[in-house]
Chains A and B, each alone.
Chain A
């Protein structure tokens, strides 16, 4: 085997946006498709409204749970400037899936820092393959804002070789029963953005 057979995805956002659930679903889908899988997620203090990153890797054999810079096949972002913050993880030919959501960091509101101008332009310049979608609106249209993470994951799935049945099964096993249906629909909605 070679390390080139290992696939990596980085999911980023702001604490509370459901990054950990999206990471769980992706990891389970990779397991179901027959791979060795490793993940890493942030817990504790970093989750309190801070910048959150989850890393998922799979292949015939995986050592590091952390993704090396420039090697992620897909970067999924639930918040747009978080996509820029972690852009260096993405392979130059990789796919970036970025939701238009903009959650103002406290440092911007206090005047300590400035929110970048022209984020869409920055995103287009940073990523050669970009899906820029309003995941929150798509989720709201389905009646559940909290499913925005599955919308992003649906779009992320279009850049990966994991069978749709494995994604569906992973959602069904990772999400509370009464939310399975809405999450599946959100995931499908995300796929249509490709």
Chain B
């Protein structure tokens, strides 16, 4: 078969397809999202679902494995925190059909709130870890992870990173091989019910399994020694391997693809055959600390950065530091205006933040496109912690006795993900916060995935959209209302009324994401420069289509989506729809 140029995520999906996976679940999260999207192209052969959150996704895929199906679950690094509960105990239960948790880390925090290193979870849960360094390996290691999973009856983790997931390289594809396993759950309580009497037995089995897995890692072809000059030996994994090959082309390398449990005999053998050892790993010094614990002296975090993602340039600087030379190249400080991400022109979230900007409330925020409401000039999101925290933290600020009222913000997909339980808390524990669900009918930030509210599944089925309002009422919230986020007057009235009420409330601001709809909301707006008084009020909307020219505003006609918010707030009446050409 011809080699195809595909991304790491597509290659992970391809590996799962070839491995005969029949159940695949996940929750969208950059940089992992395209794994499941890509696999869903084979939906005739693989059941795929976007689950409401990673914990549910993990449990669905885990149960499929217990029924003897090969399955995968996909998520970003922070998603594994949500799924950590089933992860830790599925390690005890073990699996039947192969089960691979595909987790994508985001070193450098391109699209994430933290930089945690998923390799810790493999060690914590005592499960095997696989780390591809390019798309070919992503495909190959998925197949291997699936085999190891079945052979040792354990779930496995395939850890990718942003630069593996979103880089493309050539992959030799294979054919799909059906797993050939008879589907059906076989009752066996001592195996699947970890009440203490059985759980303690499982606990011992986990340790025994780890011993066998060490030997599997030591003999795996995914871990290889590349012998070149022996004065320096570099131990590395994941994308760092690719950088190492360019920055130290002459050095010998121990390249780990099956990286946990640590292949001790390989580490010792490699170290014994080189004059000095350097460990190059991205993020935490996990491998380095283990190498040292084996009595091997090495360099690592003293020269290789432990914070932020690696790159050929950062490693070149590390090499120069090691060799006592001064790093030569750097990007330099340029006096260029930063260009952070912004809410798109026409975004329905914009008006909500604009209105909140005129109110003395604390706004607890959440994860999604609306996180961009934290930037100036909107500057109207006061906290972000994690998925769902926009709801629960509102309750915490209120119960602490903050003198101001609190408005919690959450998106539609995030509400389904983990906002519901927070809302239940507010209703049950007599909170009075106002929760605003910014419902743009899609999981937008990750590239427009379906969710329980969109009325469509990943399999392409049309289903009844789940009503956020009905969930709110069912949670015990009496004050539930729905507003049009483009109607600033209505937004303002609704938010003020609910904030002033001595009862919890739920406001659903509903309008579809125009980026997904792919069409303008109305006529392009233009500024009459003579009428513009230069008050800059429209700049406060943080619309990328509105540019400030020094004395007046201008609307970029290629960017304007015609939402008309600027026209509504311009006190000089200087903004109007562009007249038709006719």
Contacts and interface: CB of A to CB of B under 8 A. Distances in A.
Contacts of A50: 339-342
B422 to A, nearest CB: 23
A40 B5 CA distance: 12
B341 A15 contact: yes
A104 interface: yes
A45 to B, nearest CB: 4
Contacts of B31: 43-44
B110 A109 contact: no
B227 interface: no
A129 to B, nearest CB: 20
Interface residues of B, number: 58
Nearest to A28: B5
Given A44-B110, A63-B242, A108 B331 contact: no
A39 interface: yes
Interface in B222-246: 239, 241-243, 245-246
A45 B169 contact: no
Interface stretch (A112-120, A150-158, A159-167, A184-192): A112-120
Interface string B369-411: 1011001110000000000000000000000000000000000
A131 interface: no
- Indicate the member of A16, A39, A64, A106 with the most B CB atoms within 10 Å: A106
Interface in B539-578: 539, 542, 544, 546-548, 556, 558-559
B340 A44 contact: no
B342 A48 contact: yes
B339 to A, nearest CB: 4
Contacts of B329: 68-70, 88
Contacts of A46: 110-111, 341
Contacts, number: 168
A110 B553 CA distance: 12
A37 interface: yes
B316 A68 contact: yes
A48 B311 contact: no
Nearest to A136: B558
- Indicate the member of B34, B166, B241, B341 with the most A CB atoms within 10 Å: B341
Contacts of A116: 335-337
B520 interface: no
A81 B243 CA distance: 28
Nearest to B8: A65
Nearest to A30: B5
B211 interface: no
B358 interface: no
A38 B169 contact: yes
Given A36-B170, A38-B167, A103 B556 contact: yes
B324 interface: no
Given A36-B170, A105-B337, A49 B111 contact: no
Contact of A49 (B34, B169, B344, B558): B344
Contact of B344 (A28, A37, A48, A115): A48
Contacts of A113: 336-338
Contacts of A36: 169-170
A186 to B, nearest CB: 16
B447 interface: yes
Contacts of A115: 337
A106 B170 contact: no
A38 B341 contact: no
B488 interface: no
B445 A45 contact: yes
B421 interface: no
Given A66-B243, A68-B312, A107-B340, A49 B544 contact: yes
B313 interface: yes
B134 interface: yes
Contact of A65 (B169, B376, B548): B169
Given A3-B249, A64-B246, A88-B329, A109 B169 contact: no
Nearest to B542: A106
B548 A109 contact: yes
B313 A69 contact: yes
B446 interface: yes
Contacts of A27: 5, 168
Given A110-B377, A114-B337, A43 B166 contact: yes
Given A38-B134, A116-B337, 9 more contacts: A43-B31, A44-B110, A45-B371, A65-B134, A65-B168, A69-B313, A70-B329, A84-B336, A104-B556
14 contacts: A31-B5, A43-B447, A45-B372, A62-B169, A65-B163, A65-B167, A65-B242, A68-B311, A88-B332, A106-B542, A109-B547, A113-B338, A114-B337, A116-B336
The 9 closest A-B pairs by CB, nearest first: A44-B30, A44-B111, A113-B337, A65-B167, A50-B341, A48-B341, A45-B111, A105-B339, A104-B547
